[in-house]
Structure formats: C-alpha cells, structure tokens
C-alpha cells in the first residue's frame, strides 16, 4: 500500500509536530501513521481552515466507532496530543479529551498463566522438533526470559550477544518502546539458563558482539510471526484453551510476570508500594500508571492482600486499645 502523503490544511502543523516528537528521542513512527488516518479524514471532510474544531473531532470519533476499543483509543490519543500541540500557539484550537488508557484493554483481557502452565510451556518448548537442533533450547530460553523478566517479545528478538551481561546478571535493552534504553536485572536461575543456551548458540555463526542472541534454524534472527505461531502450537500441546484472536497471547507472559512478581513480594513480606517504581522501571514504563494495567486481581493475589490487610487491622486496633474482631 502506498504511503499516505499529508495534505489537509493541518498537514504542515502535523509534520512539525511529528518532527518535534522525533527530536525529543521518541520513536513516533507508529503514532505518525495513526495521525495520517486523521489527516485523510480531514481531507474527506473538506476541512478549509487550519484550525482544530470540536465538531470535526467529534465526527472523527463517531467515524471510529466500529474499531476495537484499543485501536480507537490509540487513534484518539494521537489526536489529543496533536490538539494540545496546536493549542500552544493557537488559543482557539480545540483540544479533545484524552481517552482513558486502561479501558482500551477491555477487548482483550490478559491471561495470567499459572506457574504450572509456565513450566508446561517450557517443557513443551524443550521437546520441539527437530531434536538435537538449537530450536528447542532457543524457544525454552526465550519463553523463560519473557516470563522471568517481563520484557516485550520485540525487545527479546532484538537482543544481541553484547546485550547479555553475565557478570552483572543484567540485560541491556538497547531499543525498547519509544527507543528508550534500560537495564533489566535477571535472577540467578535465569542468568544460568541464558549462559547454558549460549553454550549451544555460540557453536553457530554469527559470533560478533552485535550478532542476534536468538537465532532460527537458518542462523537468522527470530521473526515475530514465527514465534507467535510456535507459541500457539505450544499452547495446544499443553492443553491450554486459546483462540487466535483473543489469546492467550505471547504478551500475556509479560502480564504474568508483573502479577507473579507482586505475589512474590507479598509472600516475602516486602513493602509492595515501595517496590512498584522498580517494577515500572524494569518493564520500561515512564510511570506506575502504565504498570497498573498489568496488575490483575487474581484469586491468589487477593488472598495475600486480604491477609496483609487483616494483620494491619489487628495491629492498628491493638495500638488504639481496641479489641479486634
């Protein structure tokens, strides 16, 4: 499909806005494409003035009613950002409301894997064909890394050999979402698993520091579509009910990481609120609000929260001289 060329009366402002976001170090390619949809709409609506009006954004919102909540929210969010940019120099420019973030996930509620299901997936990955090849170890290590660190599948596939720092037990995510680099800590067992995988991986070229960490059977980087297809096959082998469009998805391992990390902190008696900023940083989020989307109230988590609250209630009432019920 031929790329859309911005040509509405707001095209020049859109180009400046996109360039400004990119200069700030943000990867605005995907958001820029969403802004192109809005520009196409403005052309179809025959917008004659270079100013954003409420009636035009309201009509655009009605035009998107057929889309899934998340897709609709993404498009409206970009229009909100663009409207806020225009309002800086034009006080009469309308700024549409920002869509609520968490509601966009309603169409695809995340699936939280149990520890037994994660272990079953890793075992199934170890038995992938062809036997004796690098493929079983590649997928076992990849899935284990996604579950134990919470990194995104795109970030995992983009890892190079130089990004694994065994001595420090850390991964360097050089190109995370919006091109934000970060360090991710690994547990002892995860680090050993990656080291064991590298023992086989380094028998195959390429070996340079900038060579891919994970390879397919042809010595090339793993492709997202192939990984997703293999993951669905593993779900079938493990007897985990799934649907191609609704999941469980590979991304749900990231949700599972967040919930299981929270559970571990509750079991260890740690201050969960104090640890949440660490979780947000590790997952590559700017603030805790983005991380909250991944924290699902599973029965086990609710049980631990209720138990801690009950203990706090007993101690608090006792200090006040009352009698806890």
List 28, 60, 139, 294, catalytic entry: 294
For the CA atoms of 96, 97, 98, 102, the dihedral, rounded to the nearest 10 degrees, stands at -140
List 177, 255, 260, 261, catalytic entry: 177
Distance CA 202, CA 194 (A): 12
DSSP string computed for 45-81: TT--SSS--HHHHHHHHHHTTTS-HHHHHHHHHHHHH
List 75, 152, 201, 249, catalytic entry: 152
312 Cβ neighbours under 8 A, 6+ residues apart? none
> What backbone phi and psi angles, to 5 degrees, belong to 164?
-95, 115
List 21, 201, 251, 261, catalytic entry: 251
Is 294 designated active site? yes
Is 251 designated active site? yes
- Paired with 160 in beta bridges are 212
286 Cβ neighbours under 8 A, 6+ residues apart? 280
Angle (CA) 104 64 289, round 5°: 20
Is 33 designated active site? no
Is 152 designated active site? yes
Is 254 designated active site? yes
26 Cβ neighbours under 8 A, 6+ residues apart? 178, 179
Is 285 designated active site? yes
Of 89, 88, 146, nearest to 121 (Cα)? 146
Catalytic residue positions, numbered: 152, 177, 251, 254, 285, 294
């Amino acid at each position: 499909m031929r790329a859309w060329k911005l040509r509405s009366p707001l095209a020049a402002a859109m180009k400046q806005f996109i360039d400004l976001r990119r200069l700030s170090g943000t990867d605005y390619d995907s958001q820029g494409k969403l802004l192109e949809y809005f520009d196409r709409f403005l052309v179809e609506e025959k917008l004659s003035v270079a100013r954003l009006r409420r009636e035009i954004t309201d009509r655009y919102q009605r035009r998107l009613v057929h889309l899934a909540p998340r897709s609709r929210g993404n498009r409206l969010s970009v229009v909100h950002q663009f409207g806020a940019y225009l309002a800086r120099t034009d006080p009469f420019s309308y700024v549409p409301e920002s869509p609520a973030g968490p509601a966009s996930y309603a169409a695809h509620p995340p699936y939280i894997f149990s520890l037994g299901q994660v272990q079953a997936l890793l075992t199934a990955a170890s038995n992938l064909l062809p036997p004796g090849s690098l493929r079983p170890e590649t997928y076992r290590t990849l899935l284990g890394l996604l579950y134990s660190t919470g990194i995104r599948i795109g970030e995992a596939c983009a890892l190079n050999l130089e990004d694994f720092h065994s001595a420090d037990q850390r991964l360097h995510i050089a190109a995370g979402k919006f091109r934000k680099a970060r360090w991710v800590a690994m547990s002892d067992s995860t680090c050993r698993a990656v080291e064991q995988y590298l023992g086989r991986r380094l028998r195959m070229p390429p070996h340079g520091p900038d060579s891919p960490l994970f390879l397919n059977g042809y010595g090339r980087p793993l492709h997202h579509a192939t990984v997703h297809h293999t993951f669905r096959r593993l779900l079938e082998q493990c007897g985990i009910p799934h649907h191609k469009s609704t999941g469980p998805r590979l991304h749900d391992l990231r949700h599972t990481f967040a919930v299981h990390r929270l559970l571990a902190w509750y079991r260890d008696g740690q201050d969960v609120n104090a640890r949440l900023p660490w979780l947000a940083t590790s997952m590559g989020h700017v603030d805790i609000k983005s991380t909250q989307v991944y924290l699902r109230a599973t029965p086990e988590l609710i049980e631990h929260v209720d138990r801690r609250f009950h203990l706090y209630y007993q101690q608090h009432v006792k200090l006040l001289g009352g009698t806890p019920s």
